[in-house]
Structure 1
Amino acid sequence: MELELLGELFGVEIHRPLQREEIRKALIARNELRDQLKQEKNLSSDHITLQLNDKIHVFAYRLEESESEQFYNYLSEECKKLKPEQYEQSLISTSNNTLKTEISPLSSETMEEKQPMIWKFLPWVLGVIFLLLLFSLFTFR
């Protein structure tokens, strides 16, 4: 049976019919690339992993629905086989091909409290409102 090239994912060629070994190699290549980028660009491992996972999603989106489901099933199974202390994140798929990111438990020192988005932009919003009030006071005299 002749294999049809579907594309390349992190330097690993993925063929039709999908093969678990190719997906495993792509995951290993993703994690090696993540570690390399982490050192080169000094970004967090989570941030880089999310960016690399986006490439996986784009690749899977181009597949037919049944292939995409099989791809995510293989991906999920292979992620579970990887060592959790070495790889913080793995992908799992739901029955309707919606992706979720499963994050392994992190130590409390790596968790940071996130402020709601409204507090981030509140000074800008108040500044714009103030400028609009000033503008309306001087133009409608």
Structure 2
Amino acid sequence: MQQSFFGELFGVKIHLPVSRNEVKQLIYAKSDFAGYLVQEKSIPLHRAQTELDQDIHKFVRNMEKSQANRFYEYLIEESAVSAEEFRNQIHNPMTLNYPKLRISGDNTVRRKHSVWSYMSWFLLIGCVFLGTYWFDL
């Protein structure tokens, strides 16, 4: 079946009949563009996602009903797949950056401490001493 160019959204060219691969690319491009809006335009993420979803719906309104149904079917399926990939990435300990841990003699895991982890205590004690000195308490 010959594909005809329908339009471009978030830098992804969409052809008719709609293909699953193009919808998947659109989902990733939407996510990247939402990140751009959050960082560069200081828009909250939920608002950026909502605006981009509205852009997608405006884009799909111009399609024939059968193509729009197929587009939304692919969009729902691929969104679920990308959400599952994201959850798997979060739960994979190799992708997360944990603070360095050391194992003590009794095999318990303890965090490696530094002077900076105690900085708030130093500041609190310093404020107490300065307050007593300043107000002669």
Unaligned runs of 5+ in 2: 88-137
Q: CA deviation at 1:2?
A: 2.5
Which structure has the larger Rg?
2
TM (norm. structure 1) is: 0.58
TM (norm. structure 2) is: 0.60
In structure 1, the partner of 2:76 is: 76
In structure 2, the partner of 1:42 is: 42
- Provide the alpha-carbon RMSD of the alignment: 1.8
For the residues of structure 2 that align with 1:80 and 1:35, how far apart are their CA atoms?
19
Q: CA deviation at 1:9?
A: 1.3
Secondary structure class of the residue paired with 1:42: coil
Task: Tell me the percent identity.
Answer: 34
Count of matched residue pairs: 87
In structure 2, the partner of 1:23 is: 23
Secondary structure class of the residue paired with 1:6: strand
Q: CA deviation at 1:3?
A: 1.4
Q: CA deviation at 1:83?
A: 2.8
For the residues of structure 1 that align with 2:36 and 2:8, how far apart are their CA atoms?
19
Q: CA deviation at 1:43?
A: 1.3
In structure 2, the partner of 1:131 is: none
